A and B are shown apart, each in its own frame.
Chain A
């Protein structure tokens, strides 16, 4: 089931990302920040089918808060935001469903930094792994090709890598 959200912008000093009030279909309010507030449609509901769980929303919220705090500086901010990013992805994104949901959510909300982290994590899964391993790891069961097509691609692949 898709979730719809209404948003209200609040005043905040630039260049800190603006706070965002998200009102879920069930009437619950959440607060979040976004990297590119001006591109968000003001006051209109947007569809966010990828935010299917409180866990995904919680991750978006944590990421946004820590990055906003880091942008402000001060004693509470993490000293090394890149290291925090790596630790965050390692700690929180432990299965492909969560990776998928977070990637979709970050991209839908145009949180580019988080979207890039998700893309990189997926790319790291793909690199240096066989086709079968990639399918298994990313949960791709329906290849959508006939065995003949797969065989032809295998030949093409071998030709490119000069394996035969």
Chain B
């Protein structure tokens, strides 16, 4: 399966949850690169916390949606 083109890998990643996406980067370099996709993590964020929260917490500057997701996930688990 390492021969799959990038667009098909992305298609698979959209069907995964955030735990699977967190460990997927270790599978191979290509997965490492592709699982950082902003659209992937933006969608996961929106599905979990809603569109309003997604608009409010949208990353600025060089931050990524993955970073925003990770921070919000920690807040849910430990509180602010």
A126 to B56 alpha-carbon distance, docked (Å): 32
Tell me the interface secondary structure of chain A in the complex: helix
Q: Say whether, besides A140-B28, A157-B26, A127 and B1 are in contact (CB < 8 Å).
A: no
List, in ascending order, chain A residues with CB within 8 A of B70's CB. Answer: 159-160
Residue of A120, A126, A150, A154 with most chain B CB atoms under a 10 A cut-off? A126
Q: Say whether, besides A126-B24, A131-B23, A153-B26, A138 and B2 are in contact (CB < 8 Å).
A: yes
Q: Say whether, besides A119-B15, A131-B23, A104 and B8 are in contact (CB < 8 Å).
A: yes
Tell me the interface secondary structure of chain B in the complex: helix
Q: Would A142 and B2 count as touching, CB distance under 8 A?
A: yes
Q: How many residues of A contact B (CB 8 A)?
A: 36
- Does any Cβ of A come within 8 Å of B77's Cβ? yes
The stretch of A6-14, A22-30, A40-48, A95-103 that contacts the partner chain? A95-103
- Does any Cβ of A come within 8 Å of B53's Cβ? no
Q: How many A-B residue pairs have CB under 8 A?
A: 85
Q: Would A122 and B1 count as touching, CB distance under 8 A?
A: yes
Q: Would B29 and A100 count as touching, CB distance under 8 A?
A: no
Q: Would B11 and A104 count as touching, CB distance under 8 A?
A: no
A142 to B1 alpha-carbon distance, docked (Å): 11
Task: Jot down 9 A-B pairs with beta carbons below 8 A, ordered by A.
Answer: A107-B7, A123-B13, A127-B17, A134-B23, A145-B32, A154-B26, A156-B25, A157-B23, A160-B18
